[in-house]
Amino acid sequence: MTDATNKVAVIAGASGIVGRAAAERLIDLGWRVIGVSRRPPEPALAGIEHIAADLADAEAVRAALSPVASSVTHLFYAGRAPDPDPAAEARRNLAMLVHVVEGLEAGGAPLQHVQLIHGCKWYGSQLGPYRTPAAEDDPRAPMANFYYDQQDWTAARAARSSWTWTALRPHILAGFSLGYPHNSMGVMAAYATLSKARGLPLRFPGTIGAWESLTQVTDLRLLVDAMVWTATTPEAAGEAFNVIDADYFRWCDVWGELAAFFGMEPGPVETVALVDTMKGADAEWARLAGQHGLSEPDLGRIANWGYGDFMWRVWWDDMASTAKIRRLGFDPVYTSRDSLLDALTAYRRHRVIP
């Protein structure tokens, strides 16, 4: 277990799926945890010190961090501001990171480590077929990507600072979140629940290519443990690591078990656009929430249908290697099947689904 003595973490983006999970893990380990985001994590998390700030506002970030900066030893940066224009997205997300790091440095933070949370879009996984399994030193894809800008800036800044850095690249996350709808398991949970309420089997709404291709997930528990490990392991400093479950899968091979979880019959591949077929589902969900006593009547806080449409249309093999981090000594084993079912169980435990 990591010695938490005098370790104080700022988690930027604390209300997101990664930020909240990381805060919970660090609190359990005895760290002092300060979350920075526009709203606090949900469900509420005992032990976190939350500071409300818009990471895009440099002055607001500096003012928010000023009272606590002098004790902060670690920054876990999990903030993100999506933009349909990749170049604009890169500029905005780099600026947000710079605001936090410079705000901490201006406040005299005794920083030891800065950690970035990126993903497999580093390899252009969203664009089409790419070299698999992707390795951390593969050539960059020819595109604007805020991951590149953030890592380059952080590495250059660390080279003239007293702190080190790491970057983690998870795959599709398997875990629970509320208020952060860009979550594969939130989409799965809401889609299956609505399908069942409509008397339908659990049909696969993506393409036949996505149904049959190889893919991977990253268990949220695995990711947060890797965050702690890389942030406190000197040998990991100055490196990027893929962090992914130990195996891979095809949706066609797990769909039956997912259907069984919901008490449904598995259906065929029926390619539809969820953004179209789920129009009007907000009112339907609110009725379901009332009927079943669910904790969240706002469907928009659970699932983003556009995210589901993208996830279930990736017809190419979508895989990255985890050899690098395993060789360094981090090798907990999570399997895709367990990660998917455990995440859905968490949605049921929190009464988000029946």
Tell me how far CA of residue 90 lies from CA of 75, 83, 149, 273, in angstroms.
Answer: 20, 9, 7, 28
- Residues 6+ away with beta carbon under 8 Å from 323: 135
List, for residues 3-17, the tens digit of each pLDDT value.
Answer: 666 899 999 999 999
List, for residues 105-137, the tens digit of each pLDDT value.
Answer: 999 999 999 999 999 999 999 999 999 999 999
State whether 112 and 95 are in the same domain.
Answer: yes
State whether 74 and 168 are in the same domain.
Answer: yes
Round to the nearest angstrom and report the end-to-end CA distance of the chain. 36
State whether 67 and 110 are in the same domain.
Answer: yes
315 found inside a domain:
yes
In this structure, what token pair is assigned to residue 192? 């299956």
| Helices assigned H by DSSP within the chain | 17-28, 58-65, 86-106, 146-159, 184-197, 208-212, 220-232, 251-261, 274-277, 281-292, 305-311, 323-328, 336-349
State whether 182 and 199 are in the same domain.
Answer: yes
| Length of the chain in terms of residues written | 354
State whether 193 and 232 are in the same domain.
Answer: no
Whichever domain contains 257, its CATH number is 3.40.50.720
For residues 134 and 334, give the distance between their C-alpha atoms in angstroms, rounded to a whole number. Answer: 19
State whether 161 and 310 are in the same domain.
Answer: no
C-beta neighbour count of 132 within 10 angstroms: 18
For residues 260 and 108, give the distance between their C-alpha atoms in angstroms, rounded to a whole number. Answer: 54
State whether 255 and 234 are in the same domain.
Answer: no
List, for residues 87-103, the tens digit of each pLDDT value.
Answer: 999 999 999 999 999 99
- For residue 42, the model assigns a pLDDT of 85
- For residue 30, the model assigns a pLDDT of 97
List, for residues 141-167, the tens digit of each pLDDT value.
Answer: 999 999 999 999 999 999 999 999 999
State whether 195 and 295 are in the same domain.
Answer: yes
Say if residues 11 and 19 touch (Cβ distance below 8 Å).
yes
Say if residues 74 and 32 touch (Cβ distance below 8 Å).
no
1 found inside a domain:
no
Residue 44 confidence class, pLDDT cut points 50, 70, 90: confident
State whether 227 and 344 are in the same domain.
Answer: no
Beta bridge partner(s), residue 269:
204
For residues 266 and 260, give the distance between their C-alpha atoms in angstroms, rounded to a whole number. Answer: 8
100 found inside a domain:
yes
Tell me how far CA of residue 260 lies from CA of 90, 196, 209, 256, 268, in angstroms.
Answer: 41, 12, 23, 6, 15
- For residue 183, the model assigns a pLDDT of 94
State whether 42 and 101 are in the same domain.
Answer: yes
Task: Inform me whether the pLDDT recorded for 334 exceeds 90.
Answer: yes
For residues 319 and 131, give the distance between their C-alpha atoms in angstroms, rounded to a whole number. Answer: 9
For residues 61 and 69, give the distance between their C-alpha atoms in angstroms, rounded to a whole number. Answer: 11
Tell me which residue has tokens 């996830």: 311
Task: Inform me whether the pLDDT recorded for 335 exceeds 70.
Answer: yes
Listed residue (157, 156, 155) closest to 167, CA to CA: 155
List, for residues 292-315, the tens digit of each pLDDT value.
Answer: 999 999 999 999 999 999 999 999
Answer left, alpha or beta for residue 252, where phi above 0 means left and psi between -120 and 50 means alpha: alpha
Show the domain range for 208. 175-216+248-319+333-349
List, for residues 161-204, the tens digit of each pLDDT value.
Answer: 999 999 999 999 999 999 888 999 999 999 999 999 999 999 99
| Number of folded domains that form the chain | 2
In this structure, what token pair is assigned to residue 118? 């990126």
State whether 210 and 299 are in the same domain.
Answer: yes
For residues 326 and 123, give the distance between their C-alpha atoms in angstroms, rounded to a whole number. Answer: 20
Dihedral of alpha carbons 332, 180, 93, 50, sign: negative
Backbone φ and ψ for 116, nearest 5 degrees, come out as -105, 140
Q: β-strands 217-219, 172-174: how paired? A: parallel
Task: Inform me whether the pLDDT recorded for 85 exceeds 80.
Answer: yes
